[in-house]
Amino acid sequence: MDGVTLCEPLELFNLLNQQRGGLSRLAEINHLYLIDARERQDYHTGHIVTAKNAKTDSEGAFVLPEWGDVDGMQHVVVYDDSTSSVQDPGRAVDCARVLARMSLHPVHIVRGGFQTFSALYTFLRTEKILYTVTELEKLRVYPVEVIPGLLYMGDLNQGSDSSILKDLKIRAVVNIAQSDTLESTFAHEKQAMLSIPVEDSVTSDLYSSFEKICGFIGSNFDLGSRVLIVSRLGRSRCSAVTIAFLMQHFKYTLEEAWRYMLKCKPLMRPNTGFLQQLSDWELHTKGTKLTDISQSCF
């Protein structure tokens, strides 16, 4: 269907948990347009945080909303109760078709709808309908989910927030920034931690720790433990480490892992020194350098 595609619950989770300058990007007027296409009574019983109920006419047909400009939105996402295919008739598909007439970008339907999303992320279910800009800015921002139910990436504040660790069921952390607060939090919770205190500098060495970090993450996966990777801002050091793990775990090239990470967190950016080390890691994991890091995408 032109202009309408499915997206995974993880993709919506990550859209809801982007931040810029320490503030939730949900406060940005053109970041996310999230529409609940279920019946009004279902919406008022509980919906995904910041979702608006789809507007219908007197005959129950979906119409374009009066609030906001759909065509100016970077991301337009629709869900109903359980739709899992754009070919199946349903409220999400009908609503998405209407929104696609105006949206400049594909309209996404959440696979499995509210049932699946709320089962995975119960803590993002709410009955709240209206938000001020200040409330949106101060919404709790969770680490992005990199591998469903296994690997997450965030900043030091998120790693030190016991509520976030509990909600995401985090049992192990890779800490790429020295922090007594983080270490005391995990000591209290009796969770596993690997600390690799490295400065965010182009001359810092992360490469020599890639093998150890990948082994730690893999061993915790084997135990069924969810792993969180953190650095101070969650942008440079932890994204470099996460990319290295994706290259080792999925046998990705550097470019493949880089593009995967951009989908999870578009503002991630390893510094140039770490990028060169990731290129060397590609030589180690693939036996040759397959990615040209002089490309503009890097």
Q: What is the pLDDT of residues 208-254, one digit of tens each?
A: 999 999 999 999 999 999 999 999 999 999 999 999 999 999 999 99
Tens of pLDDT, residue by residue over 17-33, are 999 998 999 999 999 99
What residues make up the domain containing 247?
144-286
What's the confidence (pLDDT) of residue 72? 84
Same domain assignment for residues 130 and 201 = no
pLDDT for res 180: 57
110 pLDDT more than 60: yes
Point out the domain boundary residue: 137, 169, 199: 137
Q: Of 54, 68, 53, 52, nearest to 102 (Cα)?
A: 68
Residue 1, pLDDT above cutoff 50 = no
Same domain, 189 and 274: yes
Q: Measured between alpha carbons, how far is 280 from 285 in angstroms, rounded to an integer?
A: 9
Q: What is the overall mean pLDDT for the chain?
A: 93
How far does CA 183 lie from the centroid of its chain? 24
Based on the fold, state whether residues 14 and 130 are members of the same structural domain: yes
Measure the CA–CA gap between 198 and 189, rounded to whole angstroms. 24
Q: What is the pLDDT of residue 65?
A: 79
- Structural domains counted in the chain: 2
**31 in the same domain as 123:** yes
Residue 188 has pLDDT above 90, yes or no: no
Instruction: Judge if 280 and 198 occupy the same domain.
Output: yes
Q: In this predicted structure, what is the pLDDT of residue 179? A: 57
Q: Which of 114, 137, 160 is the last residue of a domain?
A: 137
Least confident among 191-200, 231-240, 272-281: 191-200
Q: For residue 103, is it within any domain?
A: yes
The pLDDT assigned to 262 comes to 97
CATH number at residue 187: 3.90.190.10
pLDDT value, residue 26: 96
pLDDT digits (tens, 9 = 90+) for 42-91: 999 999 999 999 999 989 899 987 656 788 899 999 999 999 999 988 99
pLDDT over 70 at 189, yes or no: no
183 and 248: one domain?
A: yes
Q: Is residue 295 part of a domain?
A: no
Indicate whether 149 and 111 sit together in one domain: no
Domain assignment present for 298: no
Give percent above pLDDT 90 in the chain. 84
